[in-house]
């Protein structure tokens, strides 16, 4: 039988998929790697300006924390429906897979709607990318207007990913019969990644800026 060394040469000698995944799936993984670095750069940049400035902690339990927690629940549940879609597709049950994918896209759309309402609350309070509401500036003297820039920048970038993901999923659902199982798995990879990014955005943007009333 082949030794370990021979096995390795065989793997990388051409004619087989050394990673045991198709090229498209490998491509999606590479995209996810680069996108995760984009988001880490944004979040690290946010942490940088936050550590070196007076930072407001304005999020009240209602509406901000309630909304963002429900949004987290929606996004986590959409990941579960996506897993169910991939699992149905692996059992060759295309119609079930299609329903689960549409359910995922609907949960994604719910996330966008909830997030827009949450944005509107803050905009109505007077938060813009370049200025804090007058009330906040009074409560946290010397606080930096970068709060709005990082908040809208990071959550907006994430919302854009959710939006693109919804379109991607609907296209996959529409073409489910023509696509291979692996293509459905790849759309799942993207969707789970969007969920994963929110797992960092939610605590860093929302939970670390809770107004717990002890300031």
Partner 1 sequence: MSAHAETEEHFSGSNKLFISVWIWLLVLTGFEVFLGYIHLPVIYMLVILMGASIIKAALIVAYFMHLRFERLNLVLTIVPAVVICICLMLMVFFPDSFRSKELRDQRATPAATEGH
Q: How many CB atoms neighbour CB 211 within 10 A?
A: 16
Figure out which of the listed residues 7, 123, 134, 167 binds partner 1, where binding follows CB under 8 A.
7
Output the smallest distance, CB 139 to partner 1, in A.
17
C-alpha angle 197/46/130, rounded to 5°?
115
What whole-number distance in Å separates Cα of residue 56 and Cα of residue 84? 41
Figure out which of the listed residues 22, 29, 63, 157 binds partner 1, where binding follows CB under 8 A.
29
Output the smallest distance, CB 69 to partner 1, in A.
5
94 near partner 1, rule: CB under 8 A: no
The CA dihedral of 100, 105, 108, 110, to the nearest 10 degrees, is -90
Nearest to 204 by CA among 138, 150, 128, 168: 150
Figure out which of the listed residues 11, 125, 135, 138 binds partner 1, where binding follows CB under 8 A.
11
Size of interface with partner 1, in residues (CB under 8 A): 59
Residue 59: beta bridge partners? 210
Nearest to 130 by CA among 111, 113, 106, 151: 151
What whole-number distance in Å separates Cα of residue 123 and Cα of residue 104? 28
Figure out which of the listed residues 113, 123, 134, 199 binds partner 1, where binding follows CB under 8 A.
199
141 near partner 1, rule: CB under 8 A: no
- Applying CB under 8 A, the residues found at the interface with partner 1 are 2, 7, 10-11, 15-21, 26, 29, 32-33, 36-37, 40-41, 44-45, 47-49, 51-53, 61, 65, 69, 72-73, 76-77, 79-80, 82-84, 86-87, 90, 185, 188-189, 192-193, 195-196, 199-200, 202-204, 207-208, 210, 212, 214
């Amino acid at each position: 039988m082949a030794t370990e060394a021979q096995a390795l040469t065989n793997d990388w000698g051409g004619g087989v998929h050394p990673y045991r995944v198709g090229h498209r799936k490998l491509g999606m993984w590479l995209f996810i790697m680069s996108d995760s670095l984009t988001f880490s750069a944004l979040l690290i940049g946010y942490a940088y300006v936050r550590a070196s400035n007076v930072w407001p902690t304005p999020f009240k339990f209602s509406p901000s924390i309630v909304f963002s927690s429900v949004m987290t629940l929606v996004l986590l549940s959409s990941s579960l429906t996506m897993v169910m879609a991939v699992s149905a597709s692996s059992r060759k049950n295309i119609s079930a897979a299609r329903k689960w994918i549409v359910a995922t896209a609907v949960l994604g759309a719910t996330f966008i709607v909830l997030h827009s309402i949450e944005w509107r609350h803050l905009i109505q309070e007077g938060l813009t990318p370049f200025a804090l509401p007058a009330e906040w500036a009074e409560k946290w003297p010397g606080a930096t207007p970068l709060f709005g820039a990082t908040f809208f920048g990071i959550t907006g970038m994430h919302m854009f990913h959710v939006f693109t993901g919804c379109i991607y999923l609907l296209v996959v659902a529409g073409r489910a019969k023509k696509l291979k199982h692996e293509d459905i798995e790849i759309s799942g990879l993207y969707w789970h990644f969007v969920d994963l990014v929110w797992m960092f955005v939610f605590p860093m943007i929302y939970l670390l800026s809770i107004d717990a009333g002890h300031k």
